Amino acid sequence: MTGDADRLLLCRVQGQSFALEVMAVAEVVESPPTYPIPRAPAAFLGIMTCHGIPVPVADLAALLGSRPAAGAGGTVVVLEPGRAQLALRVDAVEQIISREEVLGENPGEGEWAAATLLLPGGAARLLAVDRLVTDLELLLGRC
């Protein structure tokens, strides 16, 4: 039996595939209403309420230097509260896979890529969630 430590959540942003370790994810929700964060960087869509707790939502496309699709609601991946009170907006969540399905792994390319995973359907960048969270918390702390 495969535990959460051995599973990956695959999502899509601007036509690219990304992976997050399932252990870093608390839940996935359809794009909820958000409320502005005064003086927050443009990559932050605002704050959503998740089980009565305010959670900042960052747009992964904007963080990666792309524009989000106009009018796209997308999906929000809420990170595990032990890591941060933070959520990431992605275009779509595709599936959860086992690490056993990964055909190979190369060094990560990009600021928050821990690795590039070779999968049966192509490649996906494995996000270094802890590094991403640290950078986003620094950004929010400057507002």
**pLDDT in the model for residue 129:** 93
The DSSP string of 1-43 is: ---GGGEEEEEEETTEEEEEEGGGEEEEEE----B--TT--TT
Average pLDDT of span 12-34: 94
Q: What is the CATH number of the domain that holds 36?
A: 2.40.50.180
> Is the pLDDT score of 70 beyond 80?
no
Tell which wins on pLDDT, 37 or 82.
37
- For the whole model, what pTM was predicted? 0.89
> Is the pLDDT score of 77 beyond 60?
yes
> Is the pLDDT score of 118 beyond 90?
yes
**pLDDT in the model for residue 138:** 87
Q: Which long-range contacts (CB under 8 A, 24 or more apart) does 35-41 make?
A: 37/140, 37/143, 38/143, 39/143, 40/139, 40/140, 40/143, 41/139, 41/140, 41/142, 41/143
> In terms of residue numbers, what domain contains 35?
4-141
> Is the pLDDT score of 87 beyond 60?
yes
Domain total of the chain: 1
Report the chain's mean pLDDT, rounded to a whole number.
89
Give the whole-angstrom CA distance, residue 88 versus residue 74. 10
Beta strands in 24-99 (DSSP E): 25-30, 44-50, 53-59, 75-79, 87-90, 92-98
What is the share, in percent, of the chain residues with pLDDT greater than 70? Answer: 92
**pLDDT in the model for residue 143:** 59
> Is the pLDDT score of 97 beyond 90?
yes
**pLDDT in the model for residue 1:** 47
